[in-house]
């Protein structure tokens, strides 16, 4: 009898823990289809198409919304394909916004400062502050192979140094490859963190682009299951953006194993590594210090939007923020999880 009571109490505690782990803190009625979220210094910043919305973190009131589709000084060029949405880098005094062909600078209140035209027009470009320079994503051809590159750029976005390169997963006319885009990079202002995601390795570079060390973790990669394959194919067949061209996407090519790393976030002197492993509605995170010492391994509530993507999330001040669509109410909700 005591054992049964103990199990009931344990179940209750675990249930309560799950309920408070991801608390809904706000409904944002002005948002229709967000692409990304950032939280910093009392603000919630959301990109949506070619616009940026600034909310108060205190009462979630809309402070300002700016940006339109276009090529003017205060406009952004975005498309619905090829990863060409806005890329936001939140700095203490400025907002850096990458759109196709340029980097735009705004104050934290959304006042336009200036724009810098990119010296290349790679659709997937993104620029992050890196001391008095920038670090960004580019591309290049070597023979018949296309590479994605991480580079240091000067204040005018001229390429200064290539840090690393990854062979692009795209093969025109050779089907559609999935689970092939876990490559990512982050900047702390004086260090660059990069990974191609295939292995659990994050390379760290100094302000001159010299390799300092690597953060490595033993990790058993997950096989791509038949259920996962079916979910991805069904998604392509029914998604409005792909269902009419599904026949031209053939064949759908799956790797044998999922990448070890799904995404890397460096915030508050910690490295958060998201993997593909899930337990229920929670995803696995490894947390390291900046030197690569493992601090913790946790499962956090993180809702997936599709079999390939998750809803926008952001980590700041020991909290995970995520925008989640409530389809029944047709509204977007902000959830916060203590890490």
pLDDT in tens, 248-273: 889 999 999 999 999 999 999 999 99
Q: Say which CATH superfamily domain 2-338 falls into.
A: TolB, C-terminal domain (2.120.10.30)
User: Domains of the chain: which residue ranges?
Assistant: 2-338
* pLDDT one-digit tens code per residue, 15-63: 434 443 679 899 999 999 999 999 999 999 999 999 999 999 999 999 9
pLDDT number for residue 219: 95
269, 253 contact by CB (below 8 A): no
pLDDT number for residue 138: 87
What is the SS3 assignment for 51?
Answer: strand
pLDDT number for residue 122: 61
Q: How far is CA 79 from the centre of its chain?
A: 18
Extract the residue ranges of the chain whose pLDDT is less than 50. Answer: 1-20, 82
pTM for this one? 0.90
336, 329 contact by CB (below 8 A): no
What is the spatial distance between Cα 222 and Cα 260, in angstroms, rounded to a whole number? 8
pLDDT number for residue 84: 59
314, 8 contact by CB (below 8 A): no
What is the spatial distance between Cα 293 and Cα 296, in angstroms, rounded to a whole number? 9
């Amino acid at each position: 009898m005591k054992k049964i009571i103990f199990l009931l109490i344990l179940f209750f505690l675990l249930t309560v823990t799950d309920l408070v782990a991801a608390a809904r803190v706000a409904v944002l009625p002005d948002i229709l289809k967000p692409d990304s979220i950032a939280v910093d210094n009392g603000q919630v910043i959301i990109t949506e198409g070619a616009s940026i919305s600034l909310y108060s973190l205190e009462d979630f009131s809309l402070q300002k919304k700016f940006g339109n589709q276009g090529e003017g000084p205060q406009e952004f060029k975005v498309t619905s394909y090829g990863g060409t949405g806005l890329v936001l880098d939140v700095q203490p005094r400025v907002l850096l916004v990458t759109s196709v062909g340029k980097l735009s600078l705004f104050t934290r209140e959304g006042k336009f400062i200036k724009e810098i035209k990119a010296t290349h027009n790679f659709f997937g470009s993104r620029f992050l502050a890196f001391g008095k320079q920038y670090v960004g994503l580019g591309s290049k051809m070597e023979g018949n192979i296309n590479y994605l590159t991480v580079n240091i750029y000067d204040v005018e976005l001229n390429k200064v140094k290539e840090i690393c390169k990854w062979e692009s997963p795209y093969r025109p006319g050779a089907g559609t490859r999935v689970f092939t885009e876990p490559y990512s990079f982050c900047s702390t202002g004086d260090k660059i963190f990069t990974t191609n995601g295939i292995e659990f390795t994050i390379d760290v570079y100094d302000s001159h682009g010299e390799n300092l060390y690597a953060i490595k973790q033993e990790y058993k990669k997950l096989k791509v299951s038949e259920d996962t394959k079916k979910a991805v194919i069904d998604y392509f067949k029914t998604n409005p953006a792909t269902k009419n061209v599904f026949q031209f996407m053939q064949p759908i090519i799956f790797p044998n194993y999922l990448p070890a790393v799904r995404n890397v976030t460096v915030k508050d002197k910690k490295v958060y590594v998201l993997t593909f492993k899930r337990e229920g509605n929670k995803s696995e995170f490894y947390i390291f210090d900046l030197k690569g010492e493992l601090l913790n391994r946790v499962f956090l509530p993180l809702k997936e939007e599709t079999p390939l993507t998750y809803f926008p999330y952001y980590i700041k001040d020991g909290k995970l923020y995520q925008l989640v669509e409530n389809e029944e109410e047709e509204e977007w909700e902000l959830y916060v999880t203590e890490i």
